[in-house]
Structure formats: C-alpha cells, structure tokens
Amino acid sequence: MLRIHQQTINRIQKEYGKSDTPWLIGFSGGKDSSAVLKLLVQAMDNIAELHRSVYVVFCDSGVENPLVTDFARYTFRQVNEFAKRKSLPISTYILRPKRKNR
C-alpha cells in the first residue's frame, strides 16, 4: 500500500510541474475527495518549486448533512493552516448559492 501511495504522490508532482495553469479541485467531504486532498497536500509539501495555484472548492447547497459541512469547514481550516505554515499556494473556498437558488 505504501508503494501505491508514493507512486500517486510522484504522479501528482509530475503533473503539477507540467504547467502553470491553476488546478481546481472539488471537495465533497467524502472519502474519495478527502483522499485526493490529502495526497495533493502531501505531494505539494515535497515540491521544491511551487508555481501553480491550487483552489479547493466545497459547494454547500444547504441540503448537505450538517456533519459533512462541519467536516468540510474543519478540513479547510486544517489545510489553510498547513498551507500558510509551509507557504503552499493552496486556497480553499466554500461556495453557497443564494437562498432563492437552492
């Protein structure tokens, strides 16, 4: 399992280095998007030249389980603190539609 984990991090690092185009990562708070975010942060923490911005977005439509929304907020706080401490170009956003559009 550790080999697959490291191969995935290596692949993310390789793709990151190919362009300056920003990445937009969707985050739902589920296990798959949580794993993607964790791997991405780990990969970026080990890249010497960080030139590509990464935007991570959670869409709070107002119908999600409140526990999922709370988890997204908690996760984003953790990511923001880590990114700031390590000077990683990662930004997180929680998007909410206007009440009339829900």
46-60: buried (b, 16+ CB within 10 Å) or exposed (e) per residue? eeeeeebebebebeb
Tens-of-pLDDT digits for all 102 residues of the chain? 689 999 999 999 999 999 999 999 999 999 999 999 999 999 999 999 999 999 999 999 888 899 999 999 999 999 999 999 999 999 999 999 877 766
The residue ranges of every structural domain in the chain are: 2-101
Angle, helices 66-86 vs 31-44, to 10°: value is: 0
- What CATH number matches the domain at 2-101, 3.40.47.10, 3.40.50.620, 3.10.129.10, 3.40.640.10? 3.40.50.620
Q: Which residues pair with 48 in a beta bridge?
A: none
The pLDDT value recorded for residue 75 is 98
**Percent helix / strand / coil, the chain, rounded to 5:** 50, 15, 30
